[in-house]
Amino acid sequence: MKSLNTILLIDDDETTNYLNHRLLTRLELASDIRVVTNGEEALNYLRHAFGGNEDYPYPDLILVDIKMSVMDGFEFLEEYQNYPKEQKDKTVLLMLTSSASFYDLEKLKQFPDVRQHYSKPLTEADVREIANTYF
């Protein structure tokens, strides 16, 4: 499995972040895994990363939860759409959800940057599929 430089996890659930971070670390998918707890923090991170700040490595993979406080996944996606295509093309964006409601899945279709959605927490099979499909 190819090792990525940086993964950005965006989720306000501490347990899910712990489980996903632990799994991604064990499978050595990335040398650096960053965690933020809402869409607002994620946009701030990306502003620094896209601006070339070395303390904020550019994420190869972004995993974002749909349901979060402060700024949820859909609000994040609305803002993310405004980033230049050449920046977004360097990153794979996937959604995580604990409730794959019909409404949420239909709404995801409005965001072409989202490649796929996964149930959370991630499983080893999910991580292997992500690695094989996108990297």
CA-wise closest residue to 71 among 8, 3, 135, 11: 11
Report helix, strand or coil for 43: helix
- For residues 43-64, give the mean pLDDT: 95
pLDDT at 101: 79
Mean pLDDT of 7-33: 96
Residue 1 has pLDDT above 80, yes or no: no
Place of tokens 């094989």: 132
Tell me what pLDDT residue 3 has.
84
Higher pLDDT, 100 or 47: 47
pLDDT in tens, 55-98: 999 999 999 999 998 899 999 999 999 999 998 999 999 999 88
Mean pLDDT value of segment 46-52: 93
What's the pLDDT score for residue 103?
Answer: 83
The rounded distance, in Å, linking the Cα atoms of 18 and 48 is: 24
Asked whether the bond before 112 is cis by omega within 30 degrees of 0, the reply is no
CATH of domain 4-134: 3.40.50.2300
pLDDT confidence of residue 62 = 98
**Distance of alpha carbon 38 from alpha carbon 68, whole angstroms:** 6
Residue 98: predicted pLDDT = 82
Environment class of 24 (CB within 10 Å of its CB; exposed 0-12, middle 13-18, buried 19+): buried
Q: Amino acid identity of 47?
A: R
